Structure 1
Amino acid sequence: MLSFKIVYFFQAGIGILANVFLLGFHIITFHQVHRPRPIDITTCKLAFVHLVMLFATMNILSTDMMNSLNFPNELKCKLVLYIIRVTRELSISTTCLLSIVQVITISPSSFYLSRFKHKLTNYIIIAFFCLWSLNLSSNSYMIIYTVVHSNRSNLLNVNKYCSLSSMNSIIMVLFLTLSLFQKAFFIGMMLLCSMYMVVFLCSHQRKSEYLHSMSISPRISPAKRATHTVLLLMSIFVIMYCVDITISSVSTALWKYDPVILGIQSLVENVYATVSPLVFISSDKRIIGLLQNVIDMLKSQQIDA
C-alpha cells in the first residue's frame, strides 16, 4: 500500500500543480482583457473543480490529513466524501458544458445555436449556477448516509475510513435513477456535440485541401485547434469513465473494503483531473509562448552568468 500511495500522491501532485498553473494563468488573463473568451471561463471553472477534487481525494487517503481536520470523525467523512462526489459530478457536467460552448463558438451564422454567441458569457454564468445547484442537491444523500467505517455488515465500505449505511430501497432507487439520468444526459450531450465537431473538422479539412490545391498555405485556425482539444478531452473522459464504472461495479459486488480495487479506482478517477489541464496547457499558444519566453529568459541569464 505504501507504493500505491507514492504513485497516487505523485499523480495528484502533478494534477494539482497543472490545475493551479492553468487556473492562475486564466485569472491573470481575465484581469488583462475586457471580454474573456467563453471557453476560457469554462476551462477556468473546470480547473477549479479538479483542484478541489484532487485535494479532497488526497485528504481521504491520508491518515495525517484526516486527523488534521478538527472535526468529529463522522463529520470528516461526510464532508470529504460529499465534496468528492459533488466535484466528480461537476467534472462531467462542466466537460459537457465545455463541449456545448465550443459547438456554439464554431457554429456558422446560419446555425440555430449561433444566436447565443453574443450573450454566451452571461449564459455560461447562469449554467454554472444551475450545475452547482443541481449537483449540491442531488448528492445531499452522501451527508445523511455517510458514517465512520465499522464492522457492521450492512455498510458499503467506500474507503479505509468511511462507509455508506444502508438506505430505504425507494430512496435508493430514486437517487440511483436521478444519478443515472443525470450522467446519461451529460454523456449524451457530449456525444451529440462530438458528432457536430467531427462534421465541422471534416468540412474544415476539405476547405484546407482546396486551399492547398490553389497553392494557398492553409493555417490552423484557433477554432479548429480548440475543437481538437475539446474532442481529445471528451475522448479521455469517456474512456476513463467506462473504466471507472467497471471497477465500481466490481467493488459494489464485493460489498467490502478491498484496498487494491479501491486504490486502482481512485487512480482511474483522477486521471482526467490530472491530464485535462496538461492538454489545455499544451494546446494553448498563449501558454506555450509564455513558457518559451521564460525558458529563453533563463537561458540568457545563464549565458550572462
Structure 2
Amino acid sequence: MISKNMVLGLFFLFQTGVGTLGNSFLLGLYTFTFFTGPRLRPIDLLLCHLVFVNDLVLLSKGIPQTMSTFGLTNFLDDVGCKFVFYFHKVTRNLSLCTTCLLSSFQAISLSPRSSWWAKLKARIPKYIVPLCFLCWTFHLLTNYKILLHMKGPKGSHNITKGNDFIYCSATFHVSLYIAIYILLVSLPDVLCVATMLGTSGYMFFLLYRHHQKVQYVHGNSLMPAGCPETRATQTILLLVILFVSFYSLNSILALYIHYENSPPWVVHISAFLAACYPACSSFVLMVSDSKVQKYHLALWEKMRIQF
C-alpha cells in the first residue's frame, strides 16, 4: 500500500519536474530567439526574467521538499538550510516583483496617448534592466535575517523554540525589533500586490472601454480579442490573478506556521501552494501569448532547415 508521504513526494516531484521543464523551455526559447531570431519585445525581457526566477523558486523549494516527503529529513546542515531558505525567499520575492513590473509595464503600454502614463511609453523599455537589477539588490539585502535564524532539522540538535519545516527549522526570539523588521520587509510585498491589483483593474477598464468602442463602430461582427495587445494584456491579467490567489493562500498558511506548531501536512500544503504559480505560469505563457508561439515556430523552422 502506498503511504501518504509517497503520494506527496510524487506530487512534489511532478510539480517540480513539469514546472522546471516548462520554464527552462521558455528560457531557452527566449535566449535562442535573442541571438538568432526576430527582435524581442521589451516585455519579453521581463518574461525571460520571470521564467528564470520561477525556475529557481521551483528548484530551491521543490527538491528539498520532495526529498523530505520521501523520508529524508537530515540531508541539510545549518549552512545548507540557511542557503536553501534564503535563496528561495529571494527568488520568490523576485517572482512577485517581476510580475508586478509586467503588470505595470503593460498598463503603461495600453494607456491612451492623452493620459499622463503615455509620457513613459517611450522611456520605460530603458528602465527594465535597471529595475530588475534593483529588485535583485533589494531582496538580497533585506532577507539577510534568514541567514541568522535558519538552522538544521530539529532532530539533529536541541532546539527549544522555533518553527519546524521538516528538513530545517528556525529559531527566533519574539521582540519589538523582530516585529518591526517583519513589517518593513513585508511592506514592499504588500505594495507590489496592491500595484498588481490596481494596474489589473486599470487594464480591465481599458479593455472593456475598447470593447465597447469597437462594438459601437463595427457592431458585433468584430471583436477585439484578436488584437495582439489585447491577448498580451489578457495573459498578464491571468498571471496576476494566479499569483495573487496562490500568494494569498500561501501567506495565510505561512503566518499560521510561524506562530503555531503546525503538523507536517500544513507545511507540505504551504510549500505546494508556494510552487503552484512558478510551475504553471510558463504554460499560461505558452498557450496565451501569440509571440511565444511565433518564436517557437521560428525556432522549429531553423532547426528543420539545419537538420
* TM-score (ref. length: structure 2): 0.86
Would you say 1:283 and 2:299 are equivalent positions? no
Cα shift at 1:28: 1.6
Distance 2:269 2:224 in 1: 45
Distance 1:19 1:162 in 2: 27
Match in the other structure for 2:12: 8
Which shows bigger deviation, 34-43 or 268-277? 34-43
Match in the other structure for 2:137: 133
Would you say 1:261 and 2:270 are equivalent positions? no
Give deviations 1:174-210, integer Å, cap 9, x for gaps: 2211122111110111111012101111111112212
Distance 1:289 1:37 in 2: 12
Which shows bigger deviation, 173-182 or 281-290? 281-290
Match in the other structure for 1:228: 234
Would you say 1:272 and 2:277 are equivalent positions? yes
Which amino acid is 1:153 matched to? T
Unaligned ranges ≥5, structure 2 = 302-307
Task: Indicate if the aligned counterparts of 1:148 and 1:161 stay in contact, CA closer than 8 A.
Answer: yes
Distance 2:222 2:25 in 1: 38
Task: Give the 3 Å change call, closer, same or farther, for CA 214–98 of structure 1 in structure 2.
Answer: closer
Distance 1:219 1:165 in 2: 52
Which amino acid is 2:114 matched to? S
Task: Indicate if the aligned counterparts of 2:225 and 2:231 stay in contact, CA closer than 8 A.
Answer: no
Q: SS at the partner of 1:270? A: helix
Match in the other structure for 2:251: 245
Distance 2:299 2:43 in 1: 25
Task: Indicate if the aligned counterparts of 2:235 and 2:289 stay in contact, CA closer than 8 A.
Answer: no
Match in the other structure for 2:21: 17
Which amino acid is 1:240 matched to? F
**Aligned residue among 156, 168, 189 for 2:163:** 156
Task: Indicate if the aligned counterparts of 2:243 and 2:277 stay in contact, CA closer than 8 A.
Answer: yes
Distance 1:174 1:295 in 2: 53
Task: Give the 3 Å change call, closer, same or farther, for CA 145–216 of structure 1 in structure 2.
Answer: closer
Quote the RMSD (CA, aligned, Å): 2.7
Cα shift at 1:68: 12
Which amino acid is 2:163 matched to? L
Which amino acid is 2:139 matched to? N
